[in-house]
C-alpha cells in the first residue's frame, strides 16, 4: 500500500463508513452483511475518492442474503447484456452434480490437496446441519427444498438455435418496482423457445424497449400485469393481454410439465436460468404457483417465462379457405 495508508477494521454496521473517505473497502462474507451497511454506510464513504474500489467476497448465501443477491443479480444481468460496466462479477461453484461427493467438493475448494485435506471435508459432511455444509463447504446457494424444478433440469434445455421472431413478450416489475423484466417465448417447431429480452431500470426505458421490439416484430403479442396496464401506450393496446397471479395458478403446472418433458428451449442467459432455478413453489386452493415472497431473491424472469410460454404454446385454430360466389 502507498505510504501514509491506514487500515481500519470495522464491524459491518450501517454507520461503518461514517467519518471516513475510503479508497479501498474489503467486505468479506457479504452473505451476512446487510444492505444498509453497504448502501448507507460503506459506499458513500468513497464518493470523494478517485478510482475507488469496493471488493466484496463471500461463500454462497441464503435467502436472507439480500445485499449479496442484489449485487449478484446485477452482475448476471451485466454478463447477459454483454456491455461493460463498473461491476466485475465472478463466481466459482460446482456444476450440477451430486453435492455430497468429493468430485463436487473439489470444484468448490481449489485449496483441496494444498492447505485443505479431503478428510476435513468428509468429517464436515457428517454434520447434522447439512444446509450449512452445502453453503459454506460446497459453495451452493441454499434456497429451499420446495423449488419447482430439480437442480439442473432447466440448464439441460439450453441450445444455440436462434429463436424466430414473434410470439409473446411478458413483462413484470420487481416487488419494489425498481426493475422491469421482459421475457419472450415463441413456438419453434415442436418446442417453445424462450429468452430474456431486457431488464429495464425505469418505466420510460421499459416502454422504449418494448416499442423498439414491437417495431421490429409486428406480430408480437404482449402479456403485462395490471399495474403496468394503465401505462400501456394506446397504439399497443390491441396487442396486450392482462396476466397476474390467477394465470400463474393456472399455468405453472403446465409449463413445468413442458420443461420436464423437454418441450422448451433457452439460450443459457444467466439471469433467466438463475431466477427459474431459485423459484419456490406454493399451493393455493389445489393449484400451484411460483411465489415471489417465498423465493430467495427476485423471480420476475421466471414469472414472465411462465406467462409467455403458456400463451405462446397455446394451440391456435387455423381456418380453411372458403369459396364465395352467387349461385342460381
Report the pLDDT value the prediction gives residue 143, as an integer from 0 to 100.
53
Do 132 and 159 lie in one domain? The reply is no
Count of alpha carbons within 13 angstroms of residue 39, beta-carbon side? 8
Do 270 and 194 lie in one domain? The reply is yes
Task: Enumerate residues 6+ apart whose C-beta is below 8 A from 138.
Answer: 94, 99, 104, 105, 108
Residue 121 domain-assigned? Answer: yes
Report the pLDDT value the prediction gives residue 147, as an integer from 0 to 100.
66
Do 262 and 116 lie in one domain? The reply is no
Is residue 290 a contact partner of residue 249, using CB atoms and an 8 Å limit?
Answer: no
228-257 per-position pLDDT tens digit: 998 999 999 999 999 999 999 999 999 999
Helix (H) or strand (E) holding 77: helix 66-81
Q: Is the pTM of this model over 0.75?
A: no
Residue 193 domain-assigned? Answer: yes
Number of domains into which the chain is organized: 2
Q: How confident is the model at residue 169 (pLDDT cuts 50, 70, 90)?
A: very high
Has residue 59 got a pLDDT over 90?
Answer: no
What's the whole-number mean pLDDT along residues 293-322? Answer: 81
Give SS3 for 120.
helix
Do 110 and 182 lie in one domain? The reply is no
Do 120 and 255 lie in one domain? The reply is no
Residue 83 domain-assigned? Answer: no
Do 230 and 131 lie in one domain? The reply is no
Report the pLDDT value the prediction gives residue 316, as an integer from 0 to 100.
66
Report the pLDDT value the prediction gives residue 317, as an integer from 0 to 100.
52
Is residue 105 a contact partner of residue 121, using CB atoms and an 8 Å limit?
Answer: yes
Torsion of CA 194, 195, 198, 203, to 10 degrees: 10
Residue 256 domain-assigned? Answer: yes
Has residue 318 got a pLDDT over 60?
Answer: no
β-strand partners of 222? 169, 240
Residue 59 domain-assigned? Answer: no
Is residue 28 a contact partner of residue 55, using CB atoms and an 8 Å limit?
Answer: no
Do 249 and 116 lie in one domain? The reply is no
Mean pLDDT of the chain: 87
Q: How confident is the model at residue 327 (pLDDT cuts 50, 70, 90)?
A: very low
Domain of residue 123 covers 102-136
Report the pLDDT value the prediction gives residue 96, as an integer from 0 to 100.
66
Has residue 320 got a pLDDT over 60?
Answer: no
304 against 109, higher pLDDT? 304
Residue 146 domain-assigned? Answer: no
Q: How confident is the model at residue 223 (pLDDT cuts 50, 70, 90)?
A: very high
Do 160 and 303 lie in one domain? The reply is yes
Residue 180 domain-assigned? Answer: yes
Do 256 and 163 lie in one domain? The reply is yes
300 against 65, higher pLDDT? 300
Has residue 197 got a pLDDT over 80?
Answer: yes
Do 172 and 216 lie in one domain? The reply is yes
What's the whole-number mean pLDDT along residues 71-96? Answer: 84
Report the pLDDT value the prediction gives residue 328, as an integer from 0 to 100.
45
Do 123 and 185 lie in one domain? The reply is no
12-31 per-position pLDDT tens digit: 888 888 888 999 999 999 98
Q: How confident is the model at residue 303 (pLDDT cuts 50, 70, 90)?
A: very high
Is residue 314 a contact partner of residue 306, using CB atoms and an 8 Å limit?
Answer: no
Report the pLDDT value the prediction gives residue 185, as an integer from 0 to 100.
96
Report the pLDDT value the prediction gives residue 199, as an integer from 0 to 100.
92
Torsion of CA 273, 277, 278, 282, to 10 degrees: 130
Residue 126 domain-assigned? Answer: yes
The CATH number covering residue 284 comes to 3.30.420.280
Has residue 138 got a pLDDT over 70?
Answer: yes
Q: How confident is the model at residue 162 (pLDDT cuts 50, 70, 90)?
A: confident
Rounded to the nearest 10 degrees, what angle do helices 300-312 and 245-260 cross at? Answer: 80
Do 118 and 225 lie in one domain? The reply is no
183 against 291, higher pLDDT? 183
Report the pLDDT value the prediction gives residue 326, as an integer from 0 to 100.
47
* Residue 13: CB atoms within 10 Å: 15
Has residue 225 got a pLDDT over 50?
Answer: yes
Report the pLDDT value the prediction gives residue 16, as an integer from 0 to 100.
87
Tell the residue number behind the cell numbers 447434522, with chain if given.
128
Amino acid at each position: 500500500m502507498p505510504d501514509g495508508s491506514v487500515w481500519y477494521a470495522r464491524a459491518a454496521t450501517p454507520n461503518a463508513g461514517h467519518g471516513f473517505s475510503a479508497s479501498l473497502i474489503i467486505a468479506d462474507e457479504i452473505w451476512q452483511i446487510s444492505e444498509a451497511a453497504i448502501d448507507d454506510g460503506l459506499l458513500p464513504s468513497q464518493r470523494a475518492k478517485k478510482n475507488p474500489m469496493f471488493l466484496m467476497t463471500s461463500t454462497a448465501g441464503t435467502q436472507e442474503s439480500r445485499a449479496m443477491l442484489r449485487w449478484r443479480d446485477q452482475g448476471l444481468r451485466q454478463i447477459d447484456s454483454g456491455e461493460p460496466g463498473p461491476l466485475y462479477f465472478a463466481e466459482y461453484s460446482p456444476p450440477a452434480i451430486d453435492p455430497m461427493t468429493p468430485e463436487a467438493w473439489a470444484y468448490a475448494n481449489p485449496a483441496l490437496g494444498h492447505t485443505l485435506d479431503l478428510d476435513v471435508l468428509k468429517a464436515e459432511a457428517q454434520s447434522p446441519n447439512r444446509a450449512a455444509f452445502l453453503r459454506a463447504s460446497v459453495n451452493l446457494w441454499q434456497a429451499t427444498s420446495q423449488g419447482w424444478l430439480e437442480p439442473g433440469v432447466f440448464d439441460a434445455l439450453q441450445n444455440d438455435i436462434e429463436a424466430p421472431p414473434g410470439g409473446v413478450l411478458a413483462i413484470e416489475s420487481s416487488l419494489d418496482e425498481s426493475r422491469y423484466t421482459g421475457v419472450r417465448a415463441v413456438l419453434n417447431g415442436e418446442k417453445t423457445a424462450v429468452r430474456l429480452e431486457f431488464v429495464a431500470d425505469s418505466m420510460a426505458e421499459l416502454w422504449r424497449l418494448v416499442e423498439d421490439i414491437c417495431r421490429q416484430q409486428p406480430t408480437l403479442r404482449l402479456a403485462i400485469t395490471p399495474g403496468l396496464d394503465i401505462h400501456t401506450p394506446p397504439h399497443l393496446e390491441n396487442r396486450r393481454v392482462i396476466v397476474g397471479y390467477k394465470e400463474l395458478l393456472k399455468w405453472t403446472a403446465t409449463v413445468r410439465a413442458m420443461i420436464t418433458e423437454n418441450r422448451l428451449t433457452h439460450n443459457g442467459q444467466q439471469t433467466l436460468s438463475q431466477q427459474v432455478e431459485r423459484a419456490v413453489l406454493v399451493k393455493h386452493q389445489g393449484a400451484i404457483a411460483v411465489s415471489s415472497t417465498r423465493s430467495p431473491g427476485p423471480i420476475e424472469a421466471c414469472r414472465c417465462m411462465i406467462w409467455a410460454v403458456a400463451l405462446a404454446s397455446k394451440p391456435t385454430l387455423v381456418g380453411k379457405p372458403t369459396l364465395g360466389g352467387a349461385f342460381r
